[in-house]
Structure 1
Amino acid sequence: MARPSDSDTNLPFPILIGDIGGTNARFALLVDAFAEPRSFPIVKTADFANIDEALQRSILDTTSVQPRSAILALAGPIEGDEVPLTNCPWVVRPRDMIGKLGFEDVVLVNDFEAQALAIASLSDTDREKIGGGGERPAASRAVLGPGTGLGVAGLVHARHAWFPVPGEGGHVDMGPRTERDYQIWPFLEPIEGRISAEQLLCGRGIMNIYRAVSAADGDDPVLATPADVTARALAQEDRAAIETIALFSTYLGRVAGDIAMIFMAKGGVYLAGGISQKILPALRGPEFRAAFEDKAPHTALLRSIPTYVVTHPVAALVGLAAFARMPERFGVATEGRRWKR
């Protein structure tokens, strides 16, 4: 099975696209370049021993239109012929998919590459603007996604194409700035002596902040899950929960502003993932945007950059579908990440 050069980017239709996370996997089928994606029911990864079984039973056995190709977005680096997923026991083996499931062509990309591809394709109905700033259509963009972890990617426009830039920006250092930060920072849970952005800006990060706020005030934490904290905060029913989500919004704004400067993202910074959608009422408040813009001596620059919350329920599939239809529009490197029969 040869691996073709990057210049050979067109995959044969029908194409199966998939966004595979630690808990859920979402799939859709593109019959041709003009058809709307046909979605399948969400797959719970825990219900299947491996991805091949999940694809066979949940997709291939349920449709008369059999895909010839697959483009799958995975959480984690893609190296070699066996790609383990970060938060579930599945291991993706493209050669086995070709040999056992009948695919002719398989491409693997990083999950936040798919999110970056999506932000080149979203309409105004699929995003909500937070704060000021004006979008520059061909300027660089960035996407952050607080969820199980904190994903970060850039999107750079050059040579009439969009180039996704994946990375591990979610693991940059975070430090205290305000008096309140200095009060709660000693109670945060570090990893090997440091606090990364992901330790604050994900599901477990909500709990880290909540427990630190409670400890700093000498209180016992009574809420047990991120969903509890978020619900009580949005309902204005728990003081510590309210402060937790306000601080979460502030810290997300700080990191988003840093990423905006790194990518010079004058095309906008996008907040993806389930948490961003769930705390949208809080993000509409002053904390997020104020922290985003508070980047002296570049405050004026940050004020000019728009920020958005992605509201499309399956944005990654939108990005993958756009790439599948018009691969020449995107500079997606497939070397070492594409397998052919």
Structure 2
Amino acid sequence: MVGEDDIALRFPVLIGDIGGTNARFSIVLDANSEATEPQIVQTANFETIDEAIQAAVLDRSSIQPHSAVLAVAGPVDGDKIRLTNCPWVVKPRQMFANLGLSEIVVLNDFEAQALAVVALGEEHMEKIGGGSPEPSAGRVVLGPGTGLGVAGLIYALRHWIPVPGEGGHMDIGPRTPRDFEVFPHIEKLEGRISGEQILCGRGLVNLYRAVAKADARPTPFTTPAEITAAALAKSDPVAEEALSLFVTCLGRTAGDLALVFKSRGGVFLTGGIAQKIVPALKAGNFRAAFEDKAPHRALMRSMPVYVITHPLAALLGLAAYARTPSLFGVQTAGRHWRA
């Protein structure tokens, strides 16, 4: 393991965005190339990440990557990196022997999403209120998916510096009288309700069941997709309320994080769920909850929020980093291995 921050990766570079449900891989051939056509696999179909890379990338191409930059959904700590919502364990030293790699950098998946905010143009974003972003001000990225990912992004010393964290596990609680009726029925994790118990796919199902229990209503839907579809179609009042409460809680959490980072550069919602519920996010309660942060309502009103609409944003962020690591202040100490 090596600890320097100013690295120059040897091409070709394998890039990978590994979430709890899906893993997306591509290859950056050189410093002037766009990434190759992404290969997307379901994590449940492979016992290990090494098997997934072999089947999805190496067996399909004559290109042998020398280096890899992998973004994983979980804290990067030590030589055995466990994903939070997937049984895979990333073992960089083992990858040298199994996959023929000679250098590996492992980042948090939402660091990659933060890098993508810099790499993407506004044509890949949909604005949800607020004023104009300040070019070099702090930013926040959060995304409900299999879990709830969070990262900050700050500009200092002429570098964009992603700030990884586990903000999806912060406590979240009731505020309104209706919240106090619904929240007792939300499934807890070791006695507490964190953001991830509400603001992710299973969290939406959790909310839907809690709303139904509060009113002794039936729950015919079992998946986030069914609940979202029924809510957007206005065909089921329990699903509608569940999605509305989901959006409100997302607004509250996004606003809290925006206060932490004073995100005058913008707050960015990423991931498949955010992309699918843009109409609900524009309905008004997201923005109202986001701005309801007395005594700082005026500050919150000025902050723009964007939904990132590019389906593979994290890969674009990783590709930008792989091509020119020196542009980004990514801390690689303890997360950079060479054979």
Distance in 2 (CA, whole Å) between partners of 1:124 and 1:102 is 38
Question: Which segments of structure 1 move beyond 4 Å, counting only runs of 4 or more?
Answer: none
Q: Any gaps of 5 or more consecutive residues in structure 2?
A: none
Question: Secondary structure at the residue paired with 2:332?
Answer: coil
Deviations 1:145-177 (A, max 9, x none): 101111111001000001111111111111211
Letter paired with 2:238: A
Tell me the alpha carbon deviations over residues 37-67 of structure 1, each in whole angstroms, 9 at most, x when there is no partner: 1023312222222222222222112212211
Report the counterpart of residue 69 of structure 1 in structure 2.
Answer: 67
Matches of 2:170 and 2:100, distance apart in 1:
41
CA–CA separation in structure 2 for the residues paired with 1:264 and 1:230: 31
Counterpart code for 2:52? A
Match in the other structure for 2:4 = 6
Q: Report if aligned partners of 2:11, 2:66 keep a CA contact under 8 Å in 1.
A: yes
Q: Aligned residue for 2:257?
A: 259
Deviation by residue 1:307-340 (Cα, 9 ceiling, x = unmatched): 0001110111011111111111111111111111
Whole-angstrom CA distance in 2 between matches of 1:287 and 1:223: 24
RMSD: 1.3
Q: How big is each residue's C-alpha offset from its partner over 1:66-95, in whole Å with a ceiling of 9 and x where there is no partner?
A: 111100011111122222222222221111
Structure 1: distance between partners of 2:206 and 2:48 = 32
Instruction: Give the aligned partner of residue 308 of structure 1.
Output: 306
Contact 2:6 2:326 in 1 (8 A): no
1:18-57 maps to which residues of 2 (within 5 A)?
18-57=16-55
Q: After superposition, where does 1:80-229 map in structure 2 within 5 Å?
A: 80-229=78-227
Structure 1 SS opposite 2:4: coil
Alpha-carbon contact 2:5-2:333 (below 8 Å) kept? no
The residue aligned with 1:244 is 242
| Residue 194 of structure 1: how far off its partner (Å) | 2.1
Find the aligned partners of 1:131 and 1:104 in 2 and give their Cα distance: 46
2:217 and 2:42 map into 1 onto residues whose CA distance is 37
- Normalising by structure 1, report the TM-score: 0.96
Task: Name 1:15's counterpart in structure 2.
Answer: 13
Measured in 2, the distance between the counterparts of 1:87 and 1:192 equals 16
2:288 match: secondary structure: helix
The 8 Å contact of residues 19 and 146 in structure 2, kept in 1 or not, is answered as no
Structure 1, unmatched stretches of 5+, are none
Count the aligned residue pairs: 339
Instruction: Describe the SS at the equivalent of 1:120.
Output: helix
**2:260 alignment partner AA:** I
Selected match of 1:268 from 255, 266, 269: 266
% same residue: 59
Equivalence for 1:293: 291
Q: 1:308 is matched by which residue type in structure 2?
A: Y
Deviation at 1:23, TM superposition (A): 2.1
Compute the displacement of 1:186 (Å): 1.8
